[in-house]
Chains A and B, each alone.
Chain A
Amino acid sequence: MLVLALDTATPAVTAGVVALDGDAPPELLAERVTVDPRAHTELLTPHVTAALDEAGVRLDQLDAIVCGSGPGPFTGLRVGMVTGAALGQALGIPVHPVSTLDAIAYATPFHTSLLVVTDARRREVYWSVYCDQGWRVAGPHVDKPDVVAAKLADELEPIGVTEVSGPVAQQHAELFGLTVLPTTYPTPVGLVGAAAWPLREGAEPEPLTPLYLRQPDAVEPGARKRVSQA
């Protein structure tokens, strides 16, 4: 089957066409990736068109869409989600959301257990932990890096995490005391690989809800301030 993969949950604008056949691992046909946190709206659909052209695949030949659902800083994340939802609706094909962290883990060749971290701004990171079988065993969460380090040493200690990947892995590797693996941004193959089960089974897609992990910043107004001098 032919799958379009999209992700805008990190500074990367990612679109790719992937073949998923039988039990074979996903195979990349073409991809377009630009790392620019301010170009998500601008570049995502041009990237879709360019990847399809290079792959020699027409939109009406697609069987499904896989869309990274974050976690990610709010604004950019929604570009990929709404693009996936609208393309799926217009083409009449299923759209499967998949955690962006799961997609990064799928594409990371790791040995023991893996931590994946992406930038959550406000000096925090989004993170998940994967066991040596590839399953997610913790996350996704959002925390300060030192909180993640403390958890690795404490409640997550039995899992034996030794490696870290993701766009901000290098930045925090020393604090975490982990070996950095080179996979950074989510890839089309990682996205499709992480959604391989529902794709192969033809399962009903999960609802297309972004993993925000934070509440909107909004405070209810208190008592009205007086304008007159007391």
Chain B
Amino acid sequence: MIVLGIETSCDETGVGIVRRHADGTLELLADEVASSVEEHARFGGVVPEIASRAHLQAMAPTMRRALDTAGLELSTVDAIAVTAGPGLAGALMVGVAAAKAYSTASGKPLYGVNHLAGHVAADTIEHGPLPPRCLALLVSGGHSQLLLVEGLTEKITEIGATIDDAAGEAYDKVARILGLPYPGGPPIDKLAKQGNPRAIAFPRGLTGQRDAPFDFSFSGLKTAVARWVEKHEATGAEIPLADVAASFQEAVADVLTAKAIRAAREHEVDTMVISGGVAANSRLGELARERCAEAGITLRVPRPRLCTDNGAMIAALGAHVVASGAKPSPATLAADTSLPLVYGS
């Protein structure tokens, strides 16, 4: 079965194509992405209207490239999946309208699926089907969540989430404080490699006795970094940028992995998936590997390319949804910023 996936929830226009084999494994046939990230850089964050305009211009060319790469035509795919939510409303709308048109023109069934479940499904492209139960740590520019996944198409329960900034957002804001470009994840990650992660003891949000054990908070951390930098600027001393980056990164990776391990233990799962743009972070990966190994948990992280927004992860989730026997979305499908995690629930 061949499924084509369309993704436009934020600033990436993605079209991916996967083939699902009878044993549940996936074969990646195409993964084309057009990004408007450079147009947002000078604004320090995604500007929804700019992203939506870019999706409109990129949609048809990205589709063409994906079909050409796979050596297919729309008439030879079996189903189309599209991110119907959550995400930026105006951006989602472009992908959903396009997907409906491609589905109408080709007569192929259309499935409107959840972007966050798609991030988790991305891992099944590389590492095969998920076990019956696992924990997913989803860390991206817009989300930071702990999900208990008991079947990607059956039951996904949110057991914790950020109460303020997402982890990626914290990277982007701290990058601004340090005078690094947007998006902030990659430059901080790079700079941190030359710094001392124990140089500054930045706070670990929501780790007190009475705090919600599986929720995250990164806004206090961002403010603490800003305060530290301002204090040092005032003394006229040169800011040890690499140490600040490394110490900030350590605080993020420490909190994320500590809470994820605790959640896995509490919910008695032995597999953890980390996905979303921040999963590309080198220190998060390293610390997660260390702590999962200690706890006897199998760690699965998709390659960086599949961690950030892409159409292949939507195709992957779509393929699992189709295989589950679910009915296609109705002809009146629209973007839904509060779409449930599990298809059809």
Contact = CB atoms under 8 A, between A and B. Distances in A.
B241 interface: no
Contacts of A59: 104-105
Nearest to A52: B104
B304 to A, nearest CB: 27
Residue in A39, A210, A224 with the greatest tally of chain B CB atoms within 10 Å: A224
Contacts of B103: 45
Interface of A: 39-46, 48-49, 59, 74-75, 78-79, 81-87, 89-91, 209-210, 212, 216-221, 224, 226-228
B64 A41 contact: no
Interface of B: 42-44, 47, 49-50, 52-53, 55-57, 59-60, 63-64, 74, 89-90, 93-94, 96-98, 100-106, 176-177, 223, 226-227, 230-231, 331-335
Nearest to B52: A78
B56 to A, nearest CB: 5
Contacts of A221: 43-44, 176
Contacts of A44: 97, 100
A216 B106 CA distance: 34
A91 B230 CA distance: 59
A85 B55 CA distance: 12
Nearest to A86: B101
A224 B60 contact: no
Given A74-B90, A81-B56, A85-B59, A217 B226 contact: no
Contacts of B53: 74, 78, 210, 212, 216
Nearest to A41: B334
Contacts of A209: 57
22 contacts: A41-B335, A44-B100, A45-B103, A49-B104, A49-B331, A59-B104, A75-B90, A78-B53, A78-B56, A78-B94, A78-B97, A81-B56, A83-B101, A85-B101, A90-B101, A90-B102, A210-B53, A216-B47, A216-B53, A220-B42, A221-B44, A227-B227
B25 to A, nearest CB: 29
Contacts of B57: 209
A94 B308 CA distance: 34
Nearest to B228: A228
Contacts of B331: 45-46, 49
Residue in B44, B47, B89, B101 with the greatest tally of chain A CB atoms within 10 Å: B101
Contacts of A84: 101
B50 A218 contact: yes
Given A78-B52, A216-B53, 16 more contacts: A40-B97, A41-B97, A43-B332, A82-B56, A85-B59, A85-B60, A87-B105, A90-B74, A210-B56, A218-B43, A220-B42, A220-B43, A220-B44, A221-B43, A224-B176, A226-B230
A100 to B, nearest CB: 16
B94 A82 contact: yes
A216 B50 contact: yes
A221 B47 CA distance: 12
A36 to B, nearest CB: 12
Residue in B53, B90, B98 with the greatest tally of chain A CB atoms within 10 Å: B98
Given A212-B53, A219-B43, A82 B101 contact: yes
Contacts of B223: 227
B94 A218 contact: no
